[in-house]
Chain A
Amino acid sequence: MLTDRPEPRKRLLRLRLNGRWREDAVAESELLVDYLRDVARLTGVKTGCDGGECGACAVLIDGEAMPACITLAVRCEGRSIETIEGLVEQGRPSRLQRAFHEKLGTQCGFCTPGMIVASEALLRKTPRPSDQEIRAALSGNICRCTGYVKIIESVRTAAEAAP
């Protein structure tokens, strides 16, 4: 059976991804999470739910933590996107990444990229957050392994490690 499916309308998308400008033709309906995973090959961005429920896909859009699974890629025109991969500088994990590793803020690791990205957004704005501020900032990120205790500890440790 042949189908007469219309080709999706595509647009040239220019954005800054983990510090580098790039251009890709993307469908107007394409979600940011699919663009990042399938086109840019950044599979650190995870999908844990059917849309906006779990926070595993969090990325920074102009420094703001946003769920990539309910963001259209074309809405990111001209903007700066940072993913978990982009937080590594010259092969060195960021202080949050180190703290999550050393303090066991990660167990299975699936929620971890989203957790770290959301924490990064917090620490950039609030370098010395209270526990309550940490809780508020991570309230959209579900972890099923840790009970969050060591996640809070990791964020606190990273904040204290700040220069």
Chain B
Amino acid sequence: MTAVQKGNGKLGRPGVPLIDGIDKVTGRARYTADLEHDDALVGRIFRSSVSHGEIIRLDVSKARALEGVIAVVTGEDCPHTYGVLPVAMNEYPLARERVRYRGEPVAAVAAIDAETAERALALIEFEVRELPAYYTSEDARAPGAVLLHEKKSGNLEREVHHEFGDLRAGFAAADLVREQRIHCAEVNHAQIEPHACLAEYDSLSGRLTVQSVSQVGYYLHLMLSRCLEMDTSRIRVIKPFIGGGFGARVEVLNFEIVTALLARAAGGKVLMRLTREENFLTHRARPQTDIKLKLGMRRDGKITVCECEVVQRGGAYAGYGIVTILYAGALLQGIYDIPALKYDGYRVYANLPPCGAMRGHGSVNTRHAFECVLDRMARELGLDPFAVRRANLLHAPMRTLNGLTVNSYGLGECLEKVERASGWRERIGKLPRGKGLGMACSHYVSGAAKPIHWTGEPHAVVNVRLDFDGGVTALTGAADIGQGSSTMVAIAVAETLGVALERIRVVAGDSAVTPKDNGAYSSRITFMVGNAAIDAAKKLKTMLVEAAARKLEANPADIECVGETFQVHPGGQSSLPFAEVVKVALAERGPITVSGTFTCPEESQGGKHRGGAVGSTMGFSYAAQVVEVSVDEATGVVNVDKVWTALDCGHAINPLAVEGQIEGSTWMGMGQALSEETHYLDGLPAHASLLEYHVPTIVESPPIEVHIVESHDPYGPFGAKEASEGALAGFPPALVNAVANAIGIDLDELPVTPDRVVEALVERRRQQRLAATRRAAS
């Protein structure tokens, strides 16, 4: 694939395969557990068997004395808390004084082999004075409940109360007001690569090297420094290949710090591989959520007011909780025109594994409720679901009531695409019983405009190097976790420089080499790192053009690049090949390294109200989708026959990767809609395997027809926005709306499992019988 010269973002069309794809398909790619570890000790974690209690006794002496055990660490070895939000670090890598969920790490061992490590765990003596444990938001919030954390009355981690616009006027203007309660089960990322960490401590130099599955190497670096009381300069964090993230690894995880603690205690190398069950215990995913949503609507479908209450069961520790509960309210906006809005959010502590960020962070469950209620009200008013969405579209550029900037907006076009592609107008209402169509819309941020750790630095930095070999190396801290971000960086640099993609090499995620990056979260990489890559490449290009001009004795303004040839415009009689230009440029100053940066301006960083920065972004992606289902009324089984998804990603830098992201996020929404849920028995996860936690297999996964919409964002790299998360939230409501269309039943709970469908059908029959009996009696 060769580059198109002009900076028009055309490189890559119809798309380029991932630059690291060959390594993946040949089995060469090394993930954390594949790294050389012959000389490594085996790490294992001892976990709490009770949900809530005070630690009375922890005796590791017998474990320590076992032959082959090299190190044992406990909470004594780390008196520092860690966490992703500077304001909410309330978790120890290994519990101290108290345990708050079943499966919480309490101690860890490093031994010469797995069997010895397991035997050592069995020798650890652990006594706890049990405290009452709470597994539901309701129980945890009940008056008199024991507090999980001091000063957090009602076991509330955070309460949010936001109000914008004139609510009373909104209700007065409404022709129809409806209120609905919606319940969404907790789900898990279930990324296929289990968590793993390889840590090496060199006692002689006092240096620590950690290779881990993290999406946020920089935060890991900071937390290792904090928890191990080590100078950051003595720590190196390297990202190997990563087998998916979806948010599972966007905060530092306990096992990463524990592995480093073990390596230091052992004075060597420790490999920690978590089981799938431990992955579910580590959790950090989308919380169980109860939503009460009230909408006011005019007869023509225009929304006049929205009131929303959200309760999230956040688990035992803070994690990203504050951000999640803020997102849930903030992202009610930025997609439709809502003149008045009230949001009340409650993030609750409970004695369960901590929740965190998961693809579509914070937005998914409230979007689900909103799109379901919108559909039901449309039905009552005799309006088409598409018409109701169209009655509420925004017009970019604009600023929402809560201060979010909308700079580009392709939702209208998304609606048109899926409406036409699905044959909606011809088919809706004409399908046989048991078959149905449903639709919904969604959106997501292209990077949180305000970084979590405010340092004053640019929000993204990419370094580009050029040396004697003529190879261009882009150095980025951005974590490619399979989404193709390194490929995006390569395309952005090649495109801007006007050189062949093969000339670009990307080195990513090694703190000793690559510039700091905040990480792979909030879909920030394409927008921020992409812009920084373009900036760096532009600077390099200026240097090369100047060098060519000197050699050709021309004005730099007259130098034109055609392929990898620099020539004098017009005519191009005198020209230089790329290799020659490199020689000239290097002769002057030696090998070149330039830095490109990107920062979201302050006006894009949200409202000034408390928590107003959450939800703010330079560019929202928008999506619309139609889902077609078949419902078996005897068994309650819902089959998804086909999905049409359109997503406005501003501009598709790599259309192939964009398609892959849209398909993957749509499908992940299907998992949450149809089959995925966690289930705890007195705090014990009963779902902790890939057999019990029902990720859809290829058999029940439908064809997904993708339509890319390009609204050309004014600030995105080549006009691009995110493409990895925006489509997810539309699937669950589109599915529930399709089921309603198929069998006339509105489901208020996710996931739509056969038992829930059957229960709803039985309930309807019961209601019909009661009504008939009443009619007969009267």
Contact = CB atoms under 8 A, between A and B. Distances in A.
Contact of A3 (B67, B190, B484, B690): B67
A116 B698 contact: no
Contact of A1 (B67, B115, B698): B67
A93 B660 contact: no
Contact of A46 (B31, B66, B276, B670): B31
A13 interface: no
Nearest to A98: B25
Contact of A93 (B26, B484, B664): B26
B446 interface: no
B192 A110 contact: yes
B191 A108 contact: yes
A104 B691 CA distance: 26
B214 interface: no
The 3 closest A-B pairs by CB, nearest first: A44-B27, A108-B482, A147-B667
Interface string B166-201: 000000000000000000000001111110000000
A107 B664 contact: yes
Contacts of A83: 27
A88 B28 CA distance: 11
A56 interface: yes
Nearest to A3: B67
Contacts of B659: 104, 150
Contact of A143 (B62, B192, B666): B192
A42 B30 CA distance: 11
B663 A144 contact: no
B483 interface: yes
A55 B89 CA distance: 37
A81 interface: no
Contacts of A135: 698-699
Given A49-B690, A54-B192, A149 B663 contact: yes
B664 A145 contact: yes
Contacts of A148: 667, 698, 701
Interface of B: 15, 17-18, 20-31, 33-34, 62, 65-67, 115, 119, 189-194, 241-244, 246, 273, 275-277, 481-484, 656-657, 659-660, 663-664, 666-668, 670, 689-691, 695, 697-699, 701, 703-704
Given A141-B698, A147-B663, A147-B704, A100 B690 contact: no
Contacts of B17: 101-102, 104
Contacts of B698: 134-135, 138-139, 141, 143, 148, 151-152
A108 B481 contact: yes
Contact of B482 (A44, A98, A107): A107
Interface string A37-73: 1000011111111100110100000000000000000
A6 to B, nearest CB: 11
B244 A108 contact: yes
A149 B643 CA distance: 11
B192 A56 contact: yes
A2 interface: yes
A144 B190 contact: yes
Nearest to B241: A109
Contacts of A1: 62, 65-67
Contact of B244 (A42, A45, A104, A145): A145
Contacts of B689: 49-50, 53
A152 B70 CA distance: 48
7 contacts: A44-B28, A84-B25, A104-B15, A104-B18, A108-B192, A144-B246, A147-B667
Given A48-B192, A54-B192, A116-B25, A108 B62 contact: no
B29 A109 contact: yes
A33 to B, nearest CB: 11
B701 A84 contact: no
A109 B482 contact: yes
